[in-house]
Amino acid sequence: MTAFVESLSGNLARAGAVAGRGGRSLWRVLALSPADDLIAFRKILGVAIDPEGASVCLGSRFLSRIKVLDHRRLRPEEEGPASAEWLASAVAVYLTGKKAIRTDIVLSVPKSWVIIKTAEFPATVRENLSDVVAYEMDRLTPFNPDEVYFDYRILSEEEGRLRLLIIAGRIDRLDPYLAAFREKGLRVAGITTHLVGLECLHRYVGPAGETIFFELREKGYEGGLFRQGAVAASLTGNFQGSGNGEKVDQVLEETAALEPDPEVADPSRPLLIHLVDRNPALRELLKIRLNRPVAFLDETDLRLNLERPQEVPFTALGGLLSFLWNKAGGVNLLTRGKRARVRTPFWLTIPLVLVLAALIGIYWVIPVQMETRRLALIDKQIAQTKGEVKKVETLKKEMEGLNRERDMISDFKNARQMTIGFLRELTQIIPKDSWLTRLRISENQINIEGYAPSATLLVPKLEASRFFKKVEFASPTYRDPKLNQDRFQIKMEQE
């Protein structure tokens, strides 16, 4: 018997899981939007600013399929990163030649242009994360929130704490490029950094395992730890010597710094290298000296049908993928952490629901007609027995009277909407810089908990309301040093 019950329970659980997946798939179809990643067409130009100049990568996405249309390196006459005016002009000429002047542009900048930090916050601030990150920006970085473009990603949530990756870039460094692009009639839709784009490219071409990454140039390098689909740590620097052996020694030192636990280095953790100048001697020396699995980005199958694959600019390609791939989860510094609210579209839902309703109607019409005829026959039989019919009619009237009384009682109970009134009153009283974490309404008492710049100011405001009386603190307030807010618990009675 026990085995039968367990088998039945397992079958019911599996059937429930199948039904749940089917329901989610059906809702996805019913709520399909023309802008959905599954069907939407989008074209983007990835523009990467590199120490040697710049590079571009033009791509599109349709029916979730990403296609790289073209890529090119842009080298200014002067050495160093491309200036804002030169880069805007070069990109405008390129897009004009491609007849794609209205294409959205994604700008990818070096790690040295941004600050990458990780921070922890209470999970209770999830709904206001962008405001909290902005408020804490001067603590996390040397800059005020008005001085930077920034964005964040949630890395993990454990024991009521959110661990965030925060990336910020100075406005005075980025605004000249944005202004130059606007002057040429070009639209910059997003700003990211090379490490984020290359981490996205790493996940796109293979398993997203924990990997240490280095981009090595002639004079400098950038590095990062890729973990759980994000950049968990990062560094940048210049080589102290010009010899290949000295460069490898420095890479070995920086690799140890990127280990999650420097005291227990994991030799099986792979190292992915983007060797920009493709120095064959340095490539072979890295393979020999690095005591761990080593892969080079230019030797990786990118799973993209690329023209001139040996010349592809990986930084521009990574920036492009971080905005085209629907699983990228990248960052866009221009958003300043704001997340657009996705509204469920119903342009396809309504017609499909109407068709489904029509089918259900047809399914029910025929049985209802048959039952109608059957009821008519029964009514004829009832009419032949008048005495019994009168008794039935009397009983029906009594039932109708009871139903009316029951409805009146139900309406009276449902008319009590005091709870909604309390919620509306609290929403109007509580200041915008304060918030509640808990609200409990009992028969005659209301308890609220939350945070406010000054909890003592809330009591007179609540006391002045016509809804509440006997307002007092349920427990002592205390100052939360991280949020710089008073933690309060207030109880009151209904007026």
Task: Render pLDDT for 444-473 as a digit per residue (tens, 0 to 9).
Answer: 888 889 998 888 888 888 888 888 888 888
- Residue 241, C-beta contacts closer than 8 angstroms, at least 6 positions apart: 247, 250
Residue 188: name the closest of 81, 71, 109 by CA: 109
pLDDT above 70 coverage of the chain, percent: 86
Q: What is the dihedral of CA 50, 56, 57, 59, to 10 degrees?
A: 130
- Residue 312, C-beta contacts closer than 8 angstroms, at least 6 positions apart: 57, 68, 71, 302, 306
CB of 106 within 8 A of CB of 192?
yes
Q: Tell me, what DSSP letter sits at residue 146?
A: G
Q: Which region, left, alpha or beta, applies to residue 201 given φ > 0 means left and ψ of -120 to 50 means alpha?
A: alpha
What token pair was written down for 282?
Answer: 């340095």
HSE-up of residue 264 (Cα within 13 Å, Cβ side): 1
Residue 231: name the closest of 150, 298, 164, 141 by CA: 164
Model confidence at 342: pLDDT above 70: no
Kind of pairing, strands 435-441 and 485-494? unpaired
Q: Do 36-206+303-342 and 433-494 have matching folds?
A: no
Confidence of residue 341 (pLDDT cuts 50, 70, 90): low
CB of 322 within 8 A of CB of 106?
yes
* Neighbouring-strand partners of residue 151: 167
Q: Tell me, what DSSP letter sits at residue 219?
A: S
Confidence of residue 415 (pLDDT cuts 50, 70, 90): very low
Please tell me the class of the 208-299 domain: alpha beta
Q: Maximum distance among all alpha carbons in the chain?
A: 114
Mean pLDDT of all residues in 82-90? 93
Q: What is the pLDDT of the chain when averaged over all its residues?
A: 84
Model pTM score: 0.64
Topology of the domain comprising 36-206+303-342: Nucleotidyltransferase; domain 5 (3.30.420)
Model confidence at 303: pLDDT above 70: yes
Task: Write the pLDDT tens digit of every residue in 138-173.
Answer: 998 999 999 999 999 998 888 889 999 999 999 999
Mean pLDDT of all residues in 124-133? 90
Length, in residues, of the chain:
495
Residue 83 has a pLDDT of: 92
Model confidence at 86: pLDDT above 90: yes
**Check whether domain 433-494 has CATH 1.10.287.3240, yes or no:** no
Model confidence at 79: pLDDT above 90: no
CB of 151 within 8 A of CB of 331?
yes
Task: Write the pLDDT tens digit of every residue in 47-71.
Answer: 999 988 899 999 999 888 899 999 9
Task: Write the pLDDT tens digit of every residue in 228-275.
Answer: 888 988 999 999 988 899 999 999 999 888 887 765 567 788 899 999
Residue ranges per domain, the chain?
36-206+303-342, 208-299, 433-494
Residue 437 has a pLDDT of: 87
The better pLDDT of the pair 254, 377 is held by 254
* Neighbouring-strand partners of residue 144: none
Kind of pairing, strands 188-193 and 468-480? unpaired
Model confidence at 486: pLDDT above 50: yes
